[in-house]
Amino acid sequence: MKTKIFLYLFVFALVSLIFQYMNYKSYSEAKENEVAVLKAEINDLEVENAMNLKAAKEGEDRGFTLKTNTKAREYFEDMQIDVDSIADEIEAKIIAKNHSEEDNSLVPYAGITGTMKINRIEILNHRWVLAEFTDGTYWGEAIIAYFLDEDNNLEFDTIDGFLYSE
Q: 123-138 pLDDT, tens per residue?
A: 888 899 999 998 888 8
Do 55 and 126 share a structural domain? Answer: no
Both 50 and 93 in one domain: the answer is no
For the cut 90, the answer to whether the pLDDT of residue 37 exceeds it is yes
Q: Is residue 98 domain-shared with residue 147, that is, in the same domain?
A: yes
Computed over every residue of the chain, the mean pLDDT equals: 85
CB contact at 8 A, 74 and 133: no
Say if residue 18 is in the same domain as residue 87.
no
| Position 63 confidence tier, pLDDT thresholds 50, 70, 90 | low
Where b means 16+ CB within 10 Å and e means fewer, 73-86 reads bebbeeeeeebeeb
Mean pLDDT in residue range 100-121? 85
Full residue range of the structural domain in which residue 50 is found: 1-62
- Where among 62, 86, 110 does a domain terminate? 62
Question: Could you give the number of structural domains in the chain?
Answer: 2
Closest CA to 157 of 101, 81, 109, 105: 105
45 with 88, same domain: the answer is: no
Residues 55 and 75 in one domain: no
**Higher pLDDT, residue 53 or 63:** 53
Is residue 144 scored above 90 in pLDDT? yes
